[in-house]
């Protein structure tokens, strides 16, 4: 496509992801960038990235297709690439690093939506909100309870967040926000994340603890991505040590905890479970955890909000505009961050995103 305006040209690629999953992201990104940039959209299901005039591209918002080494070589003006990857970046990230081209990671944009949903799961489980909601719908009358002014299940942790010990696995964008929410409500917050600094823990109002100490919590929240460094980190033995009646919240991905062991204790009425994510999705009909009083269910919707769409688009747009203005982007995937996610030995402690 010939260059006519002298403005930066941004290529937005799509393989159906923007329609099927991020329905509001494209329009938001175009609204943010169009006053300053020329935009080129390509659906890789019907067009090939190989045919793009890469010499005229200054930035790529990659939501479909593979950015190859040859494309990067041909894109002599390429200054920045952005996407939402959820875990390990893109295949060509090392080639970008070799050429000094930053990769902007949009994943933190949906952190607030997921963290707030995590708080909702905690509150719903503590007060048995879904159960009482369903009983009212089913015609619960008269409104009487086993004990005066008491309507919770005393076999499990219940009541207020304040006064509870909340343990969070992961001090990233989601776990960090949830830590702040729970601390503000009066909880004692303890977090396990060996890759974070003391300054990070202080900023989110949390006490850094070992994995074994984290199992002593009233409420345990799994707030880590699906990456090799955390797979089955909370083992069967760890699950066995959770105090009777504790609440486990699986918020981001379930791979960090032995869900088989968790299920066994939930089905034995030894633990409560509040879940947005599971070991098998969707839950099969007749799954024994469905319909239990000690389980709260959501169908993997924590990050599926219009606000999350806009936040991811804004994060990428802001960093693209910073790069075009000669300033460094704020949300860059670095080799150090990637090592944390892959669990490579010798990884150094890192700080959190600068937002």
Same domain, 48 and 163: no
In the prediction, which pLDDT does 86 show? 63
Mean pLDDT estimate for the chain = 92
- Asked if residue 347 belongs to a domain, the reply is no
Same domain, 293 and 261: yes
In the prediction, which pLDDT does 41 show? 97
In the prediction, which pLDDT does 337 show? 77
Q: Could you report the per-residue pLDDT of 81-101, keeping only the tens digit for each? A: 999 886 667 888 999 999 999
Same domain, 202 and 334: no
> From edge to edge, which strands make up the β-sheet containing 80-83?
38-43, 9-14, 59-63, 80-83, 103-105
Q: Which CATH number covers residue 187?
A: 3.40.50.720
- Residue with the two structure tokens 């949009």: 106
Same domain, 205 and 147: yes
Q: Could you report the per-residue pLDDT of 224-270, keeping only the tens digit for each? A: 988 777 889 999 999 999 999 999 999 999 999 999 999 999 999 99
Distance CA 246, CA 266 (A): 10
Summarize the confidence of residues 189-209 as an average pLDDT: 94
Distance CA 43, CA 63 (A): 9
Summarize the confidence of residues 320-327 as an average pLDDT: 98
pLDDT of 349 higher than 60: no
Backbone angles phi, psi at 165, to 5 degrees: -100, 115
- Asked if residue 348 belongs to a domain, the reply is no
- pTM listed for this prediction: 0.91
Q: Could you tell me the sign of the dihedral formed by the alpha carbons of 280, 244, 115, 61, in that order?
A: negative
Same domain, 227 and 249: yes
In the prediction, which pLDDT does 143 show? 83
In the prediction, which pLDDT does 227 show? 78
Q: Tell me which of 343 and 269 has the higher pLDDT.
A: 269
- Asked if residue 34 belongs to a domain, the reply is yes
Same domain, 263 and 180: yes
- Asked if residue 352 belongs to a domain, the reply is no
> Three-class SS of residue 337?
helix
Same domain, 236 and 328: no
Supply the DSSP string of 80-126, one letter for each residue: EEEE--SSS--TTHHHHHHTT--EEE-GGGGHHHHHHHHHHHHHHHH
Instruction: Give the total number of structural domains in the chain.
Output: 2
Q: Could you report the per-residue pLDDT of 102-132, keeping only the tens digit for each? A: 999 998 999 999 999 999 999 999 999 999 9
In the prediction, which pLDDT does 88 show? 64
> Three-class SS of residue 62?
strand
Same domain, 313 and 202: no
- Asked if residue 182 belongs to a domain, the reply is yes
In the prediction, which pLDDT does 146 show? 76
- Asked if residue 2 belongs to a domain, the reply is no
Same domain, 121 and 266: yes
Same domain, 312 and 191: no
In the prediction, which pLDDT does 343 show? 61
> Three-class SS of residue 256?
coil
- Asked if residue 40 belongs to a domain, the reply is yes
Q: Could you report the per-residue pLDDT of 159-176, keeping only the tens digit for each? A: 999 999 999 999 999 999
Q: Tell me which of 89 and 64 has the higher pLDDT.
A: 64
Same domain, 98 and 116: no
Same domain, 220 and 172: yes
- Asked if residue 55 belongs to a domain, the reply is yes
In the prediction, which pLDDT does 342 show? 66
In the prediction, which pLDDT does 339 show? 74
Q: Could you tell me the sign of the dihedral formed by the alpha carbons of 291, 295, 297, 300, in that order?
A: negative
pLDDT of 309 higher than 80: yes
Residue 160: domain span: 111-297
């Amino acid at each position: 496509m010939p260059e006519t305006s002298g403005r930066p040209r941004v290529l937005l690629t799509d393989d159906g992801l923007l329609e099927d999953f991020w329905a509001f992201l494209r329009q938001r990104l175009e609204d943010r960038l169009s006053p300053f940039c020329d935009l080129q959209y390509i659906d890789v299901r019907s067009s090939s990235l190989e045919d793009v005039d890469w010499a005229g591209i200054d930035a790529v918002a990659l939501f479909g297709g593979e950015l190859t080494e040859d494309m990067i070589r041909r894109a002599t003006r390429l200054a920045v690439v952005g996407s939402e990857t959820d875990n390990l970046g893109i295949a060509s990230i090392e080639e970008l690093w070799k050429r000094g081209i930053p990769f902007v990671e949009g994943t933190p944009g949906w952190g607030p939506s997921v963290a707030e949903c995590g708080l909702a799961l905690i509150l719903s489980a503590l007060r048995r909100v879904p159960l009482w909601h369903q009983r009212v719908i089913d015609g619960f009358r008269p409104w009487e309870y086993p004990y005066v002014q008491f309507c919770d299940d005393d076999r499990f942790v219940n009541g207020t967040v304040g006064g509870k010990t909340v343990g969070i696995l992961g001090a990233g964008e989601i776990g960090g926000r949830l830590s702040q929410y729970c601390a503000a409500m009066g909880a004692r917050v303890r977090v396990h994340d060996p890759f974070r600094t003391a300054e990070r823990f202080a900023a989110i109002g949390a006490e850094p603890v070992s994995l074994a100490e984290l199992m002593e919590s009233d409420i345990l929240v799994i707030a880590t991505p699906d990456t090799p460094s955390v797979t089955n980190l909370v083992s069967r033995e760890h699950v066995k040590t959770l105090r009777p009646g504790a609440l486990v919240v699986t918020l981001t991905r379930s791979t960090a905890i032995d869900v088989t062991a968790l299920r066994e204790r939930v089905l034995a009425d030894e633990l409560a479970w509040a879940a947005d994510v599971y070991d098998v999705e969707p839950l099969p009909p007749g799954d024994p955890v469905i319909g239990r009083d000690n389980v709260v269910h959501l169908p993997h919707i924590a990050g599926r909000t219009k606000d999350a769409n806009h936040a991811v688009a804004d994060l990428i747009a802001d960093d693209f505009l910073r790069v075009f203005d000669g300033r460094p982007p704020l949300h860059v995937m670095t080799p150090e961050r990637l090592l944390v996610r892959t669990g490579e030995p010798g990884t150094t402690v890192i700080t959190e995103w600068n937002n």
